[in-house]
Amino acid sequence: NYGDTAVDLAGMSWDDESGISGTSTFPSVTVAPGEAIVVWDDVAANEDSLLVSWKLYPGSVQVISTDELTGSFPSLSQNGDGVYLFDAAGIELTKSEYISGTAGYSIEFDTTGASLGNAVDGVNGAYTSLNGDVGSPGNLTPNTGAGEFTLNGRIYPNPNTGQFNIEMDRTDNYTVEVMDVRGAVLSRMTVEGNTISVDVNVSAGMYLVRVSSARGTVTQRVQVL
C-alpha cells in the first residue's frame, strides 16, 4: 500500500495474465499505509512453515492463503506472466507483467508496476530463505527515488507486552510510529541511533510499526499480548 490511508481488500480480486476479474477474490483484509502482504499458494494451516523458511516472526507479515480466497488460485509461469488487481466492481486497478523469471527467485517491480527482473540477495531488501529462495516476502516498502532499508525481522521480542526493541542496520535519524491495523497513529517518536527502544501502552492485539528515515520507510507487524 503506497498510499496514506488503510485499504480494505474485501471484494477485490486478482488474476494472472488472463486478466479476468473475480478469478481469486479477497476476504476483508486491511492493508495499512506502507504495508505489504503475502498471497500464498497453500492453506492457512501451513503458514507457520512459510514464516520459518523465510525467518519471519509470527505476526510480522499478513499472509493470505488459498483457503481464505474465493475462487481459484492462478498459477504464475516463469516463462512470462502477469498479476492483475481488480476492485470489487471488477474494474482493473493495476497490473504488473514480466517476460521471464527464474524458479526460486521473486520478480521485482517498481512502484509503477514495471518489472525490474529477478530479486537479488542483499538488494532492495531481498534475502535468501532457508530453502534457498530469494525474495522479500511482505517486509519491504519500495520507495522509488530513495535508498531503501528493511527491518529484516529485527523487532524483538515479538510478540511482546508493548515494550520492544528495533535494531536497524545503521545509525540514522529515525521516526518510529506505532499504528493500529487501520493506520491510525497511536505513538510517534524520533530517535538517532541504530537500536530503538519502544514502550507503548496499548491493548492486546496486532499493531503496525512504521520506521522512516531519509533512506526510506518500512512497516512491520508486532503482536502485543
Q: Which domains can be identified in the chain, with CATH numbers?
A: 7-135 (no CATH), 155-224 (2.60.40.1220)
- DSSP letter for each residue of 111-172: TTS-EEEE--TTSTT-EE-TTS-EE--S-----TTS-----TT-EESSSBSSEEEEEEEEEE
Distance separating alpha carbons of residues 27 and 215, to the nearest angstrom = 34
| Residue numbers of the chain with a pLDDT score lower than 50 | 140-151, 153
The pLDDT of residue 43 is 94
Distance separating alpha carbons of residues 175 and 214, to the nearest angstrom = 10
123 contact partners, CB below 8 Å, separation of at least 6: none
Distance separating alpha carbons of residues 222 and 199, to the nearest angstrom = 13
The pLDDT of residue 58 is 67
The pLDDT of residue 144 is 34
Distance separating alpha carbons of residues 4 and 179, to the nearest angstrom = 12
The pLDDT of residue 181 is 67
The 3-state DSSP class for residue 53 equals helix
pLDDT digit string, tens, across residues 171-208: 889 999 998 866 678 999 999 998 999 999 999 887 88
Number of Cβ within 10 Å of residue 77's Cβ equals: 13
pLDDT digit string, tens, across residues 6-30: 899 999 999 999 999 999 999 999 8
Burial of 28 (0-12, 13-18, 19+ CB in 10 A): exposed
- CA triple 64-68-74, angle to 5 deg: 75
The grid coordinates listed for 179 are 499504528
The pLDDT of residue 18 is 95
The 3-state DSSP class for residue 106 equals coil
